[in-house]
Amino acid sequence: MITVRAKICGIRSESDLRAVLAAEADAAGFISGTTHFSEDVLTAEQARRLSRLVPASVQRVLVTHLTDAGAILRLADRIEVDCIQLHGLITLDTVRAVRAGADGRRVIRAVHVAGPEAIDAAVEAAPDCEGIVLDSRSADRLGGTGRTHDWSVSARIADKFAGTDFAVMLAGGLHPHNVGAAIDAVHPCWVDVNSGVDDRDGNKDPVACAEFVRAAHDAALPTAVPARPRTE
């Protein structure tokens, strides 16, 4: 069986980070450089301070909406991350430029699943990055919506890359109680959660974080679905 990896995003404090690390998440996401609303946005200095507290066993991911490649790369350098998650409304040329200057960091790109057209968008994006994040969006948010999307579309996208080394991450409305079903439906190699493990004040709930990671790791993929690389 193949273990699905879990990323917890929207870390904004040391207490959030402690909850994520105690849950044994595989990656920690820091949101910085936004064009759309996010309660969890950090300044570069805030993100850098938290990033430096992450052990080497956990991947540090910059999640950004920025659309200028130079600004993205400078932000990634400042925060000191292992992976750049391009979650904004960007061009393929921008993705190529970020990847060219990533200096060994993996570059993954968000594909917002609003309908079947996301399939072509994912196929078009794939040659210029190491992975994609299949997420929901709304008029004012590019992520962190708390809403699921049509998993049958995401499953068709994941199937496009089955048997390859291309990483497919599923996000959007996931939480400890539906992540197992989401994995069964889509067969991603990663799952990504933000608000689905928050408490009423928007802080990471240690119990929910642990339950999410455990549910993801327990929902192993069948060996017929090939392993894909980590998005470090």
Which contiguous run of DSSP H or E holds residue 32? none
Please check whether residue 175 lies inside any domain of the structure.
yes
Please check whether residue 224 lies inside any domain of the structure.
no
- Rounded distance, CA 164 to CA 229, Å? 9
- Residue-level pLDDT at 32: 97
Full pLDDT tens readout for the chain, 232 residues: 578 999 999 999 999 999 999 999 999 999 999 888 788 999 999 999 999 999 999 999 999 999 999 999 999 999 999 999 998 888 999 999 999 999 999 999 999 998 999 999 999 999 999 999 999 876 567 666 668 889 999 999 999 999 888 999 999 999 999 999 999 999 999 999 999 999 999 999 999 999 999 999 998 666 544 444 444 4
Cα angle 11, 12, 17 (rounded to 5 degrees) comes to 50
In the chain, the number of structural domains is 1
Please check whether residue 232 lies inside any domain of the structure.
no
- Residue-level pLDDT at 145: 63
Please check whether residue 171 lies inside any domain of the structure.
yes
- Residue-level pLDDT at 163: 83
Please check whether residue 115 lies inside any domain of the structure.
yes
CATH number of the domain at 46, please. Answer: 3.20.20.70
- Residue-level pLDDT at 147: 82
- Rounded distance, CA 92 to CA 78, Å? 24
- Residue-level pLDDT at 175: 97
Domain membership of residue 111 as a residue range: 5-218
Are residues 42 and 30 in contact, defined by beta-carbon separation less than 8 angstroms?
A: yes
Please check whether residue 14 lies inside any domain of the structure.
yes
Closest CA to 111 of 62, 149, 70, 72: 149
Please check whether residue 143 lies inside any domain of the structure.
yes
pTM higher than the cut 0.95:
no
- Residue-level pLDDT at 58: 98
The per-type count for the chain, helices as H runs and strands as E runs, is: 8, 8
- Residue-level pLDDT at 173: 92
Please check whether residue 226 lies inside any domain of the structure.
no
- Rounded distance, CA 151 to CA 181, Å? 10
- Rounded distance, CA 76 to CA 81, Å? 6
In one letter, which amino acid is 175?
A: H
Closest CA to 230 of 29, 5, 28, 2: 5
Q: Which residue has the tokens 């999640």?
A: 63
Closest CA to 141 of 51, 39, 43: 39
Q: CA separation (Å) from 113 to 62, 137, 213?
A: 21, 8, 23
